[in-house]
Chains A and B, each alone.
Chain A
Amino acid sequence: MGTSLPPKEANLFKVIVKSYETKQYKKGLKASDNILKKFPEHGETLAMRGLTLNCMDRKAEAYELVRRGVKNDLKSHVCWHVYGLLYRSDREYREAIKCYRNALRIDPENIQILRDLSLLQAQMRDMAGFVETRRQLLTIKPSHRANWIGFAIAHHCNYDAAMAVQILEAYEGTLEDDYPPDNERYEHSEMLLYKVTLLQESGAPEKALAELNSKESKIVDKVGLKELRASLLVALNRLGEAEDVYRYLLDMNPDNYGYYEGLQKCLGLRLQGTDGYTPEQVEKLVELYTSLRAQYPKSSAAKRIPLDFLQGSQFVEAAKTYIAFFLSKGVPSLFSDILPLYDQRGKADVLEEIVLQIETSLKDTGSLPGGSYVEPPPTLMWTLFLLAQHYDRRRLYGKALEKIDEAIKHTPTAIDLYLVKGRIMKHAGDRVAAAALADEARSMDLADRFINSECVKRLLQADLVDLAEKTAVLFTKDGDQHNNLFDMQCMWYELASGDSYWRKDMLGKALKNYLAVEKHYTDMLEDQFDFHTYCLRKMTLRAYIRMLKFEDTLHSHRFFCRAAAAAIRCYLKRHDTPPKSSEGEEEIAVAGLPPNERKRLRQKMRKAEAKAKKAAEEKAKEDEALALSNAKSNKKGSQVTKQVDDDPDGEKLLQVSDPLEQAIKYCKLLQENSSGALETHLLAFDIYFRKKKILLAFQAVKKQLKLDASNPNVHRNLISFFNMVDNLPAAETPGEKLVRQVIAVERDALSILGNQPLLEVNRAFLEANKDSLLHRAAAAEVLALLSPESKEEAVKIIEDSVNPPVAEGGAIAAGVGEWVLKDCVAVHKILLTVMKDENAASRWRVRMADLFPYSTYFVGPKSSAVVEAASQVPSSVSK
C-alpha cells in the first residue's frame, strides 16, 4: 500500500488507513491533505480520502474521490477494494462484488479482500462463487479453523452436504486426539452436531448415528444430542431404541409435545392422513396415556393430548376432568387451550354441556359436579369466563355477553374479563364498544404492556388512530416516541394503523405504514450480513444454516404479504381515483355510512381527536424544545441526532407518476414468494387488467383457476377478462393480432367456459352456487357488467339470498346462520357502489341490522351506534 510514495508520505498513508480503522476521520483527512499537497493525483490517497468522507456523511464527494482514485491507479488493488467497500456501505452488493473481483485480479491472494468477497457472495446467494472463494481462502491459510468450516458451509449451501462432510472430516484429521481444549468445547461440540445433521441431510442416517455415538463424550448439548439420536433412530426404523430415548427425554421434560409425538411414532401410533386414528390405535393410545399420566401427574400435555383422539363417552369423561381441573386452578388461558377441539365434529356440543353442568353445580352446591369440596369463589368466575368465550366461538354473541357480564358482576376487578368482552364485541361487529372495553381494561392496570397493546389494536380497529397512537407511546421510550415504534419494528401496529387509515381513505398515511413494514423486511434481509462472520467465528453453525433458510423464505411471511397486498391496493385506488381538490378528511371518513351513524361518528371523532390534538401540540412543543437542546449540546452538527420526517402524511409516497408500476414492484415479490396464495394472483390481475397487459392478466386468471376455480372473485375476474377482450377494438399491429390469437386458443381450451357465451357461463355459475351469498353477489355483479339493463335482476339475485343455518355438530352453534358479518358488509358495498341502488342497500341494511344486532356498520339496535352508554366512550388516556 502506498508503495509509489516516498517514505514520509508512505507513512502518512499508513496514518490514513489507521485513522479510518479507528474512526478518527479528522486525523485521516489531515494526513490525506498533506499527501495530496505534493501528489494531488495519487490514486490510493484519493480513494482513502473518499472512503473517510463517506463515513462523515459526505456521500457525493466520497464517490467522486474514490472514482478519481480508481481512474488514476487502475492497477491498485487498494483502490478497487476501497471502491468495493464504498458500494458495500450503500448495500450495492453486486457492484461491490465486481470491485472486489477487480482487486483480486491484481492481488489474487489478498486474504482480507477474499474474506470480504465471500461475505458478499453468501449474502447474495452466489453459492458457486462462495465455494470458490472459500476454497481459495482455505488453500492460502489451511491452519485456520474458520477456513475449513467456511469451506464446508459453502458446499452445504451449494447443495452438496456430502462434500461438506468430507471437508469436516479432513479438518478433524488435522486435530490432535485430545482436542478440544476446555475453552473450545462448546464450539467443537457444535461443529460435531452440525456434521451429524449434514450426514442426516445427505441421506446417511446410519453414518450420522454412528458419528453421534462415537462423539458422544465431546458433545456438550446433551438434550440436542438425545433429540437428534431419537430422530435418527426413527429414520432407521429402530423404533424400540428410539422409544427408550423418547421416554428418557420425557422424563426430563414431560410437557414437550414433540416428545409425545415421537413416542407415538415409535409405537406405531402415528396419525395417518386425515381420517384420524383407527379404533385399535385409540385403544392403545388410551393405554399409553393412562400410564403416562400416572407417571407424570403434573404434566399438562399428558392430560391434554388424549382430548384430541378420544371420542364419545371417553371424551366426555376426559374433558370433564380436564376442564374442571383447570377451572379450579384458575387458568385464564383454558379456552385457547381447548379451542382446537371445536373443529372436531360434535366436540363443541359436548364441551358446552360439560361447562354448563359445572356452572349449575357451582351455583347450586358450590362445588364441582361430584366434588366434595366447596370451590373457592374464582372458580365460578372462570367458569362464566370460559362459557362466554365458548358462546363467542359459537357465534351466540347475546349469550356470550350475558355470561361475561355475569362474570364481571361477580369479580369486577378481573381484567381478563374486560378484554374478552371487548373481543366478543368486536366479533359481534361493534368496534367502538370493543375499543372502549379494552381501554377500560387498560385503565385497570396501567403498568401492563400487553393490555396496553391490545387496547391500541382495538382503538385502531375502531379507527381512533390518534388516540391509539397516544396510547401506544405510553410504553415507548420517552422523547423519540413515534419513531421508536418504527425502530422496534412494531409491525402489528403499523399494519393496524395502515388499515385504519385505509378505511378512512387517507391513502398516503396508509401507504406509509404499509411500506414501513416492507422496509422492515428489507432490513431483516440486510441484518443477516453480520452473521456471516459472527456465526463462523462463534461456530453456531446449525443456527446459521437455519437463519439462511429463514432469510430465503422471509418474504413469504404473513405480515409481509399483508403489507404488500395492502400497499398494492393503495396504489390501485390511487390509480382509480386520481387526486382531486383536497376534501376534509372527516368527510371522507364518514362517507358511505348511514347518515345517523355519520353524525355520531363525527361527534366521536371530534371529541376523541380534540383531546389528541391538544396533546399533539404539547408534544410538538416538547419535541421542539428537545431538538433545540440537542442542537445546543452538539453544535458542530457532526452527528445527525434525529432525522426529520419530511413526509409525515405519506403524500410524497403516493405522488408517483405511475402507481401501477409501483404496484407491480410489490406484486412481483408476492408472485415470487407467495405464489400459492390466491390473493397474489387476484392482485396481479387487478394490476395488469388496468395496465391492459392482456397476456399477464390472463396468466393471473389461469393461476387463479388452478388454485380455486369456484371462488367468486375468480369467477368475476374470468368473466370480466373475456368481456374486456370481447370489447377491444380490432387488433391492428401484428403483435396485437398474435396476442388475440393466443387468447382465442386459450379460451377454447378453458373447460370452465365450455364454449358458451359469458352470460350463460355466469348463469351456470349462479345455478351451481345458488346457496352461497358471496357467489350470488359475484354472479350479480357479473350480470350487471355484462348487461347493464339487467341491473334490477342482479339486485334481485342478491336480495333473494337466504341465510342457511349451519349444520349441526360444528364449532358454530346449530341454527345460527352461515352468513358472516364481513361478507354481508361486502355485499352492502356492492349494492351501494356497483349496483348504485340506494334503496336496495338500505333494505339490506335493515335486514342485516336484524341479523347482526351489535353491528355498528348496520346500525344494529344493540350496537353502540344506537345504545350510547356513557361508559362506552373510550375514556381519555391518562398516564
Chain B
Amino acid sequence: MRYHIPRPSRFFFPVFIRYRWTRKTLFFVPTLDLRDTECVGGHWRLVELKMGKSQDVQVSFDTVREKNLMQLKKLNLSIFPVTYQDKFYTDALSSGDFTKLAYYADLCVGSIACRLEKKEGGGGVRLYIMTLGVLAPYRRMGIGSKLLRKTLEQCEQQTESPIMEVYLHVQTNNDAAIEFYKKFNFEITEEIKNYYKHLEPPDCFVLSKTLVSPSKTKVPQ
C-alpha cells in the first residue's frame, strides 16, 4: 500500500490514505472540525468518500516541451471547438512555467496555456489565459481548479515585474467555465460582440481578476 500524505490545508487537516488498487479513499478527519455536524469530540473519524469528488484525486504537473507538445495538441483538439494555429503552440512553448499539463493516473487529462503581456499604457504585466481545459470525462474532479490555483500561486510568487491582472475570453454561453472562474473571484469586465468567427454564439465575455497586491491575494481552496 502506498500512502500519500498531502500538505495540511489551512482550514482542516485531513490525513488521507489512498488505497491505490481499489481506489477507495479513506479520509481520517479530525472530528474537531467545526463543519462536521456529527462531531464526536476528541476522536478521529473515518469517512469514506466516493471517487470523483474534489479533494481526493492525485494530480501531477509537467511543463510543455517539444517532446510532449503533441499531448497539448490532442487535448485542445478534443476540448475546444477552435483549431489553434502554430502561433499558439510557439507561445505556449515559450511561456515557460505558465503553460502546464495535468496528469491523472499517468494520463494527460488537462492543461492550462497562458501568455504574459505588457499592459497597454505601461506599468505592470498581465497574464492572459489562452486556454484552460480538462478532458470531459475528467471534469468536476478538481483538476481544473488545481491548474488554475497553481497558476495563480505562480503569479503571486513572481515578484520581479509583478503580475497585476489575470484575464481571459470565454464564450458567452459557456456557463460551466463562467461558474468555474467566478469561484476564483474572476469578474466579467466586458462583453465583446462577434469575437469568434466560426462559433455560435459569436460573442464573448472578458473575465478578469485583479491581483491587487500579490502578497495579499487569497486563493480559495
Residues of A whose CB lies within 8 Å of any CB of B are 325, 328-330, 366, 373-378, 380-381, 409-414, 443-447
Q: Is the CB of B51 within 8 A of A380?
A: no
Cβ-neighbour of A373 out of B51, B70, B104 (below 8 A): B51
**Is the pair A444, B22 in contact by a Cβ cutoff of 8 Å?**
no
CB distance from A167 to the nearest CB of B (A): 53
Does B164 have its Cβ within 8 Å of any Cβ on chain A? no
B51 pairs with A444, CB closer than 8 A: no
Can you list, as one digit per residue, whether each of B97-140 has a CB less than 8 Å from chain A (1) or not (0)? Answer: 00000001111110000000000000000000000000101100
* Pair A328/B23 contact, Cβ less than 8 Å: yes
Are A447 and B75 neighbours in the complex by a CB distance under 8 Å? no
Compute how far the CA of A376 lies from the CA of B71 in the bound complex, rounded to whole angstroms. 21
Contact B21 A413 (CB under 8 A): no
Do the beta carbons of B23 and A373 come within 8 Å of each other? Answer: yes
In Å, the complex CA distance between A329 and B71 comes to 23
Judge whether B109 and A411 touch: CB under 8 Å. yes
In the complex, are the beta carbons of B75 and A376 less than 8 A apart?
Answer: no
Q: Do A444 and B68 contact each other (CB < 8 Å), given the known contacts A376-B105, A412-B135, A413-B135?
A: yes
25 contacts between A and B (CB under 8 A): A325-B21, A366-B52, A373-B22, A373-B23, A376-B104, A376-B105, A377-B52, A377-B138, A378-B107, A380-B137, A381-B107, A411-B109, A413-B71, A413-B74, A413-B107, A413-B108, A413-B135, A414-B107, A443-B70, A444-B68, A444-B70, A444-B71, A445-B67, A445-B71, A446-B67
Partner of B107, one of A373, A380, A409, A411: A411
Q: Is the CB of A446 within 8 A of B66?
A: yes
CB of A601, distance to nearest CB on chain B (Å): 27
Minimum Cβ distance to chain B for residue A137 (Å): 57
In the complex, chain B residues whose CB is within 8 Å of the CB of A375: 23, 51
A551 smallest CB distance to B (angstroms): 41
User: Considering residues A328, A376, A380, A381, which has the most beta carbons from chain B within 10 angstroms of its beta carbon?
Assistant: A376
- In-complex Cβ contact of A413 among B22, B51, B109 (8 A): B109
Given A378-B107, A413-B74, A328–B22 Cβ distance below 8 Å?
yes
- The count of chain B contact residues (Cβ–Cβ below 8 Å) is 27
Name the residue of chain B whose CB is nearest to the CB of A441.
B70
**Chain B: minimal CB distance from A828 (Å):** 38
> How would you classify the secondary structure of chain A's contact residues: helix, strand, loop or mixed?
loop
Which residues from chain A contact B108 at a C-beta distance below 8 Å? 413
Are the C-beta atoms of A378 and B105 separated by less than 8 Å? yes
Instruction: Find out whether the CB atom of A374 lies under 8 angstroms from the CB atom of B137.
Output: no
B218 touches A (CB below 8 Å): no
Chain A minimum-CB-distance residue to B135: A411
B residues engaging A (CB < 8 A)? Answer: 20-24, 50-52, 57, 66-68, 70-71, 74-75, 77-78, 104-109, 135, 137-138
When distances are taken between beta carbons in the complex, the residues of chain A under 8 Å from B135 are: 410-413
Nearest chain A CB to B194 CB, angstrom units: 30
Given the complex of chains A and B, what is the CA–CA distance between A410 and B136 in angstroms? 8
Q: How far is the CA of A377 from the CA of B106 in the complex (A)?
A: 12
The 3 closest A-B CB pairs, nearest first, are A377-B137, A446-B67, A413-B108
Complex alpha-carbon distance, A411 and B105, angstroms = 12
Q: A413 touching B105 by the CB < 8 A rule? A: no
Which single residue of chain B is at the shortest CB-CB distance from A329?
B21
Q: A376-B104, A411-B107, A412-B78 are in contact. List 8 more A-B contacts (CB 8 A).
A: A373-B22, A374-B50, A377-B52, A381-B107, A411-B109, A412-B75, A413-B71, A443-B70
Q: In the assembled complex, which residues on chain B have CB atoms less than 8 Å from the CB atom of A380? A: 137
B106 and chain A: residue at smallest CB distance: A330
The listed residue (A328, A373, A444, A447) touching B74 by CB distance below 8 A is A444
A373: chain B residues at CB < 8 Å are: 22-24, 50-51
A366 to B105, CA, bound (A): 17
Measured between beta carbons, the chain A residues less than 8 angstroms from B51 are 373-376
CB A164 to nearest CB in B, in angstroms, measures 50
On whether A376 and B52 interact (CB within 8 A), knowing A328-B23, A412-B75, the answer reads yes
Residues on A with C-beta less than 8 A from B137 are 377, 380-381, 410-411
